[in-house]
């Protein structure tokens, strides 16, 4: 592969750093369906077809399985399944697939097509269940917590540190409770409300109770199904498909304890979803002190103040009062100017994604001034590559080592960024990026 193309591919998606697109609100208009939490019923709206399929035929859906090219998918015996719904003559059929034995009896419910559910059942979380031993500490705690859940004035419930948490430390983790394929929301409102309600009702009782105890935003709902829907809309994260799931819809995923964390435009914690364990991990972006609220960002924080506040009010219905949104006008204007300059710098790279060492260091400095610690992996990777491309191995290694250190908790130890930076740090002169800027200049003047 050409070195310039490699450069571009490695930096693809890093220009904006680590994406934070979770907690997206869904607003699905349509008639309410009155459901009983103890005896849910299947209602089919006019123009929709439902297929009620028993557990055996769903878990052994060889026909559905053969229609996909997803590799490694296997049949899985689910402890609960639901009636299935499809829109009109569409072949896409959405059902609930629940396994109460998942993660040591914590349970999980999936709302999706059978082929995708069986594909997820090939992950280590299902086939090597011991991989999640000790991950969930909210229902049954075996290690001391670094935090407590408590009332936060003006915010409702939140999570507060009870001890010093160092940058990069793991704070908490949850395996997924609900995983909902966005495609299910193309069904009629009655149908997706039915599937959501069944997905929650199939969870073990303690897990179900913890999920239903989450905020429903305004606390108003007429039915169990409406309650479930509001809890999901208020607390879910967007999880993007893996490369093996090309063409699949985004997953809407709920992690009950993590959902207690409130928003801040300059958060002190970051989340990372692991597709092998189907777990979300929360790590500290900076040192956190006892008494500090632990926060995430619900939006891309690399936006000017007005855009951030507008997005939060439109999607979540609250006016942000974080320290970055309540700064005085002079400092807020300067922050907006830095954000605009960061965007301009990323956009000014050439078609191969390259800039200069000086540009890379300026981006790092601007992120530091903005306290956008979650964006640092991309900036540090960029700096390491730029200095190596310029033939400066010592500075390249310095930034590569920094990139590895901050990327492991944010992106994961097996991420492509960490793997690439390890190669560069070990032998910069044998790395594909070595001296390419110098070579390009020599070729241009030859």
User: How much helix, strand and coil, in percent to the nearest 5, is found in the chain?
Assistant: 40, 15, 40
Return the closest-CA partner of residue 109 out of 137, 73, 77, 81: 81
**Structure confidence by residue, pLDDT tens digits, 34-84:** 222 222 222 222 222 333 333 333 333 333 333 334 444 567 899 999 999
Position 24 scores a pLDDT of 35
Position 19 scores a pLDDT of 33
Position 91 scores a pLDDT of 82
Fold of 48-296: Beta-clip-like (2.170.270)
Q: List Cα–Cα distances, 371 to 24, 297, 339, 374, in angstroms.
A: 23, 13, 11, 9
Angle at Cα 180 formed by Cα 175 and Cα 181, nearest 5°? 125
Position 317 scores a pLDDT of 86
Position 53 scores a pLDDT of 35
Position 30 scores a pLDDT of 27
Position 396 scores a pLDDT of 98
Return the closest-CA partner of residue 286 out of 422, 398, 410, 155: 410
Low-confidence spans in the chain with pLDDT less than 50? 1, 5, 13-72
CA distance 88 to 95: 15
């Amino acid at each position: 592969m050409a070195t310039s193309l490699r450069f571009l591919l490695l930096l693809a998606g890093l220009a904006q750093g680590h994406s934070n697109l979770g907690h997206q609100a869904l607003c699905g208009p349509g008639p309410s369906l009155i459901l009983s939490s103890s005896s849910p019923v299947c209602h089919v709206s006019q123009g929709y077809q439902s297929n009620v399929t028993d557990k055996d035929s769903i878990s052994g859906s060889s026909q559905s399985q053969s229609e996909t090219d997803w590799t490694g998918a296997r049949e899985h015996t689910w402890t609960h399944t639901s009636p299935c719904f499809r829109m009109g003559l569409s072949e896409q059929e959405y059902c609930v697939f629940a396994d109460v034995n998942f993660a040591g009896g914590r349970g999980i419910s999936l709302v999706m097509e059978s082929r995708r559910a069986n594909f997820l059942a090939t992950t280590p979380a299902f086939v090597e269940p011991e991989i999640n031993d000790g991950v969930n500490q909210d229902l049954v705690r075996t290690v001391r917590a670094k935090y407590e859940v408590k009332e936060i004035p003006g915010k409702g419930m939140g999570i507060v540190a009870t001890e010093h948490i160092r940058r990069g430390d793991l704070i908490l983790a949850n395996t997924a409770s609900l995983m909902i394929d966005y495609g299910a929301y193309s069904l009629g409102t009655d149908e997706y409300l039915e599937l959501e309600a069944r997905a929650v009702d199939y969870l073990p009782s303690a897990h179900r109770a913890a999920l239903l105890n989450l905020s429903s935003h305004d606390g108003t709902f007429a039915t169990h199904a409406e309650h479930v829907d509001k809890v999901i809309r208020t607390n879910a994260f967007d999880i993007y498909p893996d490369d093996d799931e090309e063409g699949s819809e985004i997953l809407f995923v709920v992690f009950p304890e993590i959902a207690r964390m409130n928003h801040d435009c300059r958060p002190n914690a970051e989340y990372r979803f692991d597709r092998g364990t189907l777990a979300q991990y929360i790590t500290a972006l900076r040192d956190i002190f006892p008494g500090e609220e632990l926060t995430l960002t619900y939006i891309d924080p690399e936006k000017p103040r007005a855009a951030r506040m507008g997005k939060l009010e439109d999607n979540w219905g609250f006016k942000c009062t974080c320290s970055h949104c309540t700064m005085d006008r002079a400092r807020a204007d300067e922050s907006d100017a830095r954000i605009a300059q960061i965007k301009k710098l990323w956009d000014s790279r050439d078609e191969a994604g390259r800039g200069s060492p000086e540009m890379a260091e300026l981006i790092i400095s601007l992120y530091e001034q903005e306290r956008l610690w979650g964006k640092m992996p991309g900036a540090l990777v960029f700096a390491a590559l730029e200095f190596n491309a310029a033939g400066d191995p010592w500075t390249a290694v310095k930034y590569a080592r920094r990139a590895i250190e901050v990327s492991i908790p944010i992106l994961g130890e097996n991420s492509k960024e960490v793997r690439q930076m390890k190669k560069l740090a070990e032998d910069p002169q044998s790395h594909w990026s070595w001296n390419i800027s110098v070579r390009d200049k020599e070729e241009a003047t030859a």
